[in-house]
Amino acid sequence: MPLPSIGPAARVAPARRPGSGRVTGQAGDGRKKLLLAALVVFGAASLACAYASSAGMLIAARAALGVSAAFLMPLSLAVLPVLFTPQERPRALGIWVTATAASFPIGPIVGGWLLDTSGGARYSSSTCP
């Protein structure tokens, strides 16, 4: 059985003109709203983690953190082509990649330091955006 070609999938994908505008809540562009909603959920879940009074509440808040973070990473990258001109995009992408790559080793180090020095509540509230 032959593999399907990518042609039909490319025709189904929505077309977008390069440089068609900034993320300003354009009709049909839900990236901004979804990104803002994910940020709000992430912040609320971070505060819920900081002030959780039981293990169940902490687990539920951490689950909400995971779901919202799963939206934040790809959406933060998806808005770059809309926010920046074609000339600015390589620099913006470089900054995004550098910040993301730096956060992987720095996050656990800072988190461990916060846990050692002040306890769990300060550590959980440090993840608020």
The answer to whether residue 79 is domain-embedded is yes
| Cα 61 from Cα 82, distance rounded (Å) | 32
Exposed, middle or buried: residue 124 (CB in 10 Å: 0-12, 13-18, 19+)?
Answer: buried
Q: What is the pLDDT of residues 41-87, one digit of tens each?
A: 999 998 888 888 889 998 999 999 999 999 988 898 888 888 889 99
Instruction: Tell me which residue range forms the domain holding 58.
Output: 30-125
Q: What is the pLDDT of residues 94-125, one digit of tens each?
A: 999 999 899 889 988 887 887 788 766 555 55
pTM for the predicted model, two decimal places:
0.63
Q: Say how many domains are in the chain.
A: 1
The answer to whether residue 65 is domain-embedded is yes
Tell me the three state secondary structure of residue 21. Answer: coil
